[in-house]
Amino acid sequence: MDAQATSVLNRIIRRIPNKNIENLLKKWNSLSADQLRALDYTRPKWMIVEHVLSFCEENRLNLKHITNLEMIYHIENPDQGTWHACQFAEAQDDAVCVELTQFKEQFKAHLHGVIRHISIKMKKHEDEAIWIRIAWGDNFSKPNHLKPTYVVHHLHTSYVFISNLMAKHKIFLCQALVIATKHGSIKDGHLSTRSLTAMRDLLLRRYQQAFPNAHSRIPQERNTLSSHPCIGKEHSDHEEMRHQMSCEAFGHSPSPKLETAVYRLETRYRGNGNHTLSDREEFFRGVVRFSSSSLLDSLRHCVASGMAEGPVTPLLSAITQRGRNYFVITDKGPGVSSQASAQRA
Amino acid sequence: MDGQVETVEQGVLGHLMALERRGMGQQDQHESQRLEMLKVRAVALRAQRDQLKHQADAVKILKDKISKDLPLDDADAAGGFIELQKSLLTAWRMQLKDLQRAHHLIGGYDLVECKEGKSVCVSFHTAFEGVYLETYNMELDLTRTVQISRHNIPPSFPLESIAKQILQKDLKGFLQTLSQKLNALAGRRQQVYLLKELVGSVEVMESNQLCNILVLMCTAQGETPKAVLCTLEYGDLTQCLPTRVSIECEDKTLSESPQWKKHQSLLLESPAHTALLTMRRMGSIA
């Protein structure tokens, strides 16, 4: 096994806590049962790494097997690194008929055509997600397996999730994706998170949304303690209305676990107090950043408890409605950036 | 009084019994008073009910006349112009509500006004073979042009392209197409689910979120069981039935046999799970 394979393996094993290594190696299915039994996971990491390396040498495993292991690791633990969302536009008429094999072939063919040395691996997961691992080289050097790009796409949806892509490779990847999925163009989704699960839940609508309905009202999550028959709520209808409003804007719990929302301001100062600030012609530039362990839950609670006044401002409800967490607010008037007309598919 | 004089001579128990009798007699009096009051109240309520019934009937007659496009006569205008207007509005409202209810009952979409008329929320109910499946919602913003503000339709559904084609020109057509396609999607998805549940011996080799392709592997019975691959392509997204079925088998004679030709047309004409159950019953597949 060459140096690159060794360092990749090293990195994987060092990253996982010892108790999870066994499961990962079993899923990998490249070591024999005896070898797996022989490994002692209570030893220090460097010892485990050495043992696994020696087994790999024994089984004559090569870089391909190691990159397979890395991919399995990432599929099992998707919430690492920073993921960015991109969205396709201008679907061609037969975009709906694109099949998996077709997509794979076209994607690989395009990238192999433009870059001489590149290593692409694709796997389809049970939940219909296609995982792609790309190690980039160029016309002179071999692919660099220490900095692979990961791409996740669900066929027939218009979203792609990308992690660890360098600026110089962006154009090649975008071209390949657009051609393979039969769309006209791809643009930045303005959504980045550390958790791929949260990003997928938000964009693929895997959370429960609330809609006004003539027939049913949303059941409230109440503490049974507070529904004592002798306790009457004075403003129960206001409370229900606020609860309804907050659920419509941010969804029911559990919501996708977004962590931040960033608003970049390029507006003029409008307050009456400080004249020096409001007289300036140039923009008042600032950045407002909301952080939370679960941003949507916090915002929902703010609105439901009355801390934030209703109706919910479109600046906040745009997080779920438009599926983004980076906004640029310009001075054209109330509302979100000039991309306000772009609808979320 | 006489009773009292008598009872004093008969003793304490006798006295008590006489008092009891007198008390009951007084209760009777109260009861009969109450009975009178209740009777009077019942008569008043009946009169009120008859009056309301009469009014409701008048409005219903008006509503029927309007729905049958009959001319209104003087008897309807009896209460004066304002009264007539009020009754007309009530009648129209009743008719529209009936239509709305009927549309809901046949499994059509519901519309609810929200944000004081600035937007409308549509609920699409889906059903297959008489069983209600998922409900999809969509909020349409009506302020300047009609635009979709949010929805919970699955992302693999080509909503954007349908909206681009029809939404601005014909809202009703858009909602109708969407309802049709969502129902078809739910139907196809339900077929795959029922297939897995009822016909466990058939393996689903490939399917996708949009359920427009389904590849199944069945085991054909015979002297030696052979694997048969059935590919169902659903080219028309408004339909629950496939547009093309192809049967592949290593043994060419099997796939060309008249029995399997019949199976091919069976798969084209009936839902997948029904067709496979029939094929299993006939003994063709395991």
Q: Is B112 on the interface with A (CB under 8 A)?
A: yes
* Closest by Cβ to A204, choosing from B123, B148, B155: B155
Whether A219 contacts A196, CB under 8 Å? no
How many angstroms separate the most distant Cα atoms in chain B? Answer: 120
Whether B59 contacts B76, CB under 8 Å? no
Q: Is B108 on the interface with A (CB under 8 A)?
A: no
Tell me which of B189 and A234 has the higher pLDDT.
Answer: B189
Q: Using only C-alpha atoms, what is the Rg of chain A?
A: 25
Whether B81 contacts B72, CB under 8 Å? no
Q: Tell me which of B141, B156, B205, B214 to substitute to probe the interface with A (most A C-beta atoms closer than 10 Å).
A: B156
pLDDT at A297: 93
How many CA within 13 A on the CB side of residue A149? 22
Hey, which CATH number is domain B107-186, 3.30.70, 2.30.30, 3.40.630, 3.30.457?
Answer: 3.30.457
CA–CA dist B115, B43 (Å, integer) = 46
Q: A211 and B137 in contact by Cβ < 8 A?
A: yes
SS3 B74: coil
Q: What are the start-end ranges of the E strands in chain A?
A: 83-91, 118-124, 129-136, 149-154, 159-163, 183-193, 260-267, 284-291, 326-330
Q: Tell me which of B159, B160, B231 to substitute to probe the interface with A (most A C-beta atoms closer than 10 Å).
A: B160
Q: A96 and B148 in contact by Cβ < 8 A?
A: no
Whether B95 contacts B67, CB under 8 Å? yes
Phi, psi of B74 (to 5 degrees): -65, -30
Q: What are the start-end ranges of the E strands in A56-206?
A: 83-91, 118-124, 129-136, 149-154, 159-163, 183-193
The minimum CA-CA distance between A22 and chain B, rounded to whole Å, is: 30
Residues 6+ apart with CB under 8 A from B58: B76, B87
Q: B212 and A97 in contact by Cβ < 8 A?
A: yes
The minimum CA-CA distance between B124 and chain A, rounded to whole Å, is: 11
Q: For the segment B154-185, what is each residue's pLDDT rounded down to a tens digit?
A: 888 888 888 888 888 888 899 999 999 999 99
From chain B, pick out residues whose CB is under 8 angstroms from the CB of A154.
155-156, 209
Tokens 């004093």, residue located: B8
* Closest by Cβ to B147, choosing from A100, A157, A343: A343
Nearest to A227 by CA among A239, A216, A212: A239
DSSP state of A279: T
CA–CA dist A255, A325 (Å, integer) = 15
Fold classification of A83-207 (topology level): S-adenosylmethionine decarboxylase (3.60.90)
From chain B, pick out residues whose CB is under 8 angstroms from the CB of A96.
158, 210, 212, 237
From chain B, pick out residues whose CB is under 8 angstroms from the CB of A205.
152-155
Q: B112 and A91 in contact by Cβ < 8 A?
A: no
pLDDT at A239: 87
Helix (H) or strand (E) holding B179: helix B171-198
Whether A165 contacts A173, CB under 8 Å? yes
Give yes or no for residue A282 having a pLDDT over 60.
Answer: yes
Q: What percent of chain B has pLDDT over 70?
A: 93
Note the Cα B62 to chain centre separation in Å.
28
SS3 A158: coil
SS3 A247: helix
* Closest by Cβ to A345, choosing from B147, B160, B212: B160
Q: For the segment A170-229, what is each residue's pLDDT rounded down to a tens digit?
A: 999 999 999 999 999 999 999 999 999 999 999 998 888 888 876 555 455 554 445 677
Q: For the segment B225-235, what is each residue's pLDDT rounded down to a tens digit?
A: 888 888 898 88
Domain positions in chain B? 71-104, 107-186, 200-282
State the helix-helix crossing angle for B12-67 and B2-10, rounded to 10 degrees.
Answer: 130
Q: For the segment B44-99, what is each residue's pLDDT rounded down to a tens digit?
A: 999 999 999 998 888 888 778 777 777 766 665 666 777 778 888 888 888 888 88
Tell me which of A169 and B67 has the higher pLDDT.
Answer: A169
The minimum CA-CA distance between A157 and chain B, rounded to whole Å, is: 4
Per-residue pLDDT band for A12 (boundaries 50, 70, 90) equals: confident
CA–CA dist B21, B174 (Å, integer) = 81
Per-residue pLDDT band for A293 (boundaries 50, 70, 90) equals: very high
Q: Is B243 on the interface with A (CB under 8 A)?
A: no
Q: For the segment B233-284, what is each residue's pLDDT rounded down to a tens digit?
A: 888 888 889 999 888 888 788 778 888 888 888 889 999 888 888 888 888 8
Tokens of B142: 């009506």
Q: Which residues pair with A288 in a beta bridge?
A: A263
Instruction: Compute the mean pLDDT over every residue in chain B, rounded to the nearest whole number.
Output: 84
SS3 A55: helix
CA–CA dist B157, B268 (Å, integer) = 23
Chain A, 180 to 239: residues with Cβ < 8 Å from chain B are 203-205, 209, 211-215
The minimum CA-CA distance between B206 and chain A, rounded to whole Å, is: 10
Q: B156 and A211 in contact by Cβ < 8 A?
A: no
Q: Is B160 on the interface with A (CB under 8 A)?
A: yes
Q: A321 and B149 in contact by Cβ < 8 A?
A: yes
Tokens 């004679």, residue located: B253
From chain A, pick out residues whose CB is under 8 angstroms from the CB of B210.
96, 156
Whether B97 contacts B110, CB under 8 Å? no
Note the Cα A115 to chain centre separation in Å.
27
How many other C-beta atoms are found inside a 10 Å radius of the C-beta of residue A222?
Answer: 11
Per-residue pLDDT band for A280 (boundaries 50, 70, 90) equals: low
Q: For the segment A312-334, what is each residue's pLDDT rounded down to a tens digit?
A: 888 898 999 888 999 998 876 44
CA–CA dist A324, A189 (Å, integer) = 7
* Closest by Cβ to A345, choosing from B137, B159, B212: B159
Per-residue pLDDT band for B285 (boundaries 50, 70, 90) equals: confident
Q: Which residues pair with A192 in a beta bridge?
A: A84
Task: Show the CA angle centred on residue A293, arms to residues A289 and A299, nearest 5°.
Answer: 65
Q: Between chain A and chain B, how many beta carbons pairs sit less than 8 Å apart?
A: 66
Chain B, 183 to 212: residues with Cβ < 8 Å from chain A are 206, 208-210, 212
CA–CA dist A110, A130 (Å, integer) = 17
Domain positions in chain A? 3-77, 83-207, 230-330
From chain B, pick out residues whose CB is under 8 angstroms from the CB of A95.
158
* Closest by Cβ to B148, choosing from A97, A159, A343: A343
From chain B, pick out residues whose CB is under 8 angstroms from the CB of A204.
154-155
Give yes or no for residue B198 having a pLDDT over 60.
Answer: yes
Q: Which residues pair with A118 in a beta bridge?
A: A136
